[in-house]
Homo-oligomer: A and B are copies of this chain.
Amino acid sequence: LTVATASPPLDRLKLLLAEIEDLRRVEQLLDWDQHVFMPPAGAAARAEAHGTVTRLAHELLVSGAVGELLVELEPLERELGHDSVDGALLRVARRDWERARRVPAALIGELYRTNGVAVAAWERAKAASDFGLFAPHLERQLELKREYAACFPEAATPYDALLEDYEQGMTTARVAEVFTELRRALVPLVSELAERRVDEAALRGPFPVEQQRAACARILEAFGTAKSWRLDETVHPFASSPGLGDVRLTTKFRTTDLTALFSTMHEFGHGVYEAGVDPQLARTPLATGTSAAVHESQSRTWENLVGRSDGFWRWFYPILQPLFADALADVGREAFVGAVNAVKPGLIRVDADEVTYGLHIIMRFELEQALLAGDVAVRDVPKAWNARMREDLGVEVPDDAHGVLQDIHWGVGLIGYFPTYQLGNVMSVQIWRRAEEQLGDLDEQFARGQFEPLREWLRDHVYRLGRRYPPEELLERVTGSALDPAPYLDYLRSKFSP
């Protein structure tokens, strides 16, 4: 299956694709550095340099050479078939090339420039908690996104065209169907659970940063990162892989809570996916996760399905408790596990628990569609946002900073991305169920500090494949079923409403 195909034009194509992939990795380093270590005074120069690398990568891809080779290699692609690595390489390269060449260079430049301006406006608007300061920039982003979507007239709706960039093959209609089912189940579940009293004393802290660092290191060691992975601090945690074998997680420590532990496990999920891609795929467009939702399924797996499980804490609480002798002395394991699994409707998506999280996403998905279609005016977004928060979660939004301005996504032009977070949650449980069938009682393994069986199973069934299969096909291969919200809802009900 992985025998190299003898074809000089294929070799030439691979060389070009390797250069493009190198530049994409360089972009990851430019980003990582910017968010972790870059002196602030370097921001303007970095924006120029990043723009140049992005532009060159795009130019290399849409250059005549790639297109001519893809035409020449069409017969070979048919011959190689769907399951061969080189067949997948050609299919993915063709798809990337087709999408890239549809978009005029001028529009790409304008999208890039607008992101720079809009994200700065978003930061000011959020600091002032004044949506009005951001509104014209959101308007401009929507105009450009409509223009971008128009480059793909085969898409059923403009939103479908945007979604396709993050989740190949997914349709707005299918997302809407799944999300409608989820919302129907989640709203009553949330209101049922919100009435329970949560003992928050267990997580009152303070939790000194050095001990949190030690706890994160211990978890990562047990999960099985290579020694050389980095864990640094940032404002907004993320994972990056600026090269094969080079995996960098970031987190944010606060002495007032232990979210850094969960964000570290979340980013581990992204990191272990990238790290697990078959090294044979290095320097090809196959050498990364297959989609945003499948990526998120893995971060959610390690953050929630592992990191908030009873078994995990049976292993880890006896290690954690002595690290925070002051704060946790009188907190038993069960109270602690209850506290880290508390369901409590809140204002902020990134602080949301497993049950309420989906409702934050579903609202954004619906609002984005309405904005893109022009069914909701930009000026009316805060009103729509706040009304929906009241309706679904029963919370009152006090100001724009804690409402419509909380997320960076629209500032940086990520419209159509939000749904992948919740699709990832849904997929994570589908994959998990299959892993459990094959690996036995995972909770018991975690209780013994054993994470290798799960990790290796996921590597074998998901990570090593990179982009060889598009997301829904991968899900079918791993789970034997298409996207299905039922296991996810079962999981939530049995965990939170037993």
Q: Is A456 an interface residue (CB 8 A)?
A: no
Could you say which residues of chain B place their CB within 8 Å of the CB of A248? 39
Known: A26-B26, A228-B40. A246 touches B19 (CB 8 A): no
Bound CA span A49–B229, Å: 19
Bound CA span A226–B45, Å: 16
Q: Is A23 an interface residue (CB 8 A)?
A: yes
Is there contact, CB below 8 Å, between A52 and B19? yes
Could you say which residues of chain B place their CB within 8 Å of the CB of A38? 246
Interface string of A21-64 (1 = CB under 8 A from B): 01101100110010001111110111011011101100000000
Known: A37-B37, A41-B228, A228-B40. A22 touches B243 (CB 8 A): no
Could you say which residues of chain B place their CB within 8 Å of the CB of A39? 226, 228-230, 245-248
Q: Is A244 an interface residue (CB 8 A)?
A: yes
Q: Is A471 an interface residue (CB 8 A)?
A: no
CB-CB nearest in chain B for A287: B45
Could you say which residues of chain B place their CB within 8 Å of the CB of A323? none
Q: Which of A29, A56, A242, A243 is most buried by chain B, counting CB atoms within 10 A of its CB?
A: A243
Chain A interface extent, by class: 35 or more
Could you say which residues of chain B place their CB within 8 Å of the CB of A44? 243-245
7 A-B pairs with least C-beta separation: A42-B246, A45-B243, A41-B245, A39-B228, A22-B52, A22-B49, A45-B244
Could you say which residues of chain B place their CB within 8 Å of the CB of A45? 25, 242-246, 282-283
Bound CA span A38–B242, Å: 9
Bound CA span A55–B242, Å: 19
Is there contact, CB below 8 Å, between A41 and B282? no
Could you say which residues of chain B place their CB within 8 Å of the CB of A215? none
Q: Is A18 an interface residue (CB 8 A)?
A: yes
CB-CB nearest in chain B for A226: B41
Could you say which residues of chain B place their CB within 8 Å of the CB of A228? 39-42
CB-CB nearest in chain B for A39: B228
Given contacts A22-B53, A44-B244, list 12 more A-B pairs with CB under 8 A.
Answer: A23-B56, A26-B26, A29-B29, A29-B33, A39-B245, A39-B247, A41-B246, A42-B244, A45-B243, A45-B283, A48-B243, A49-B243
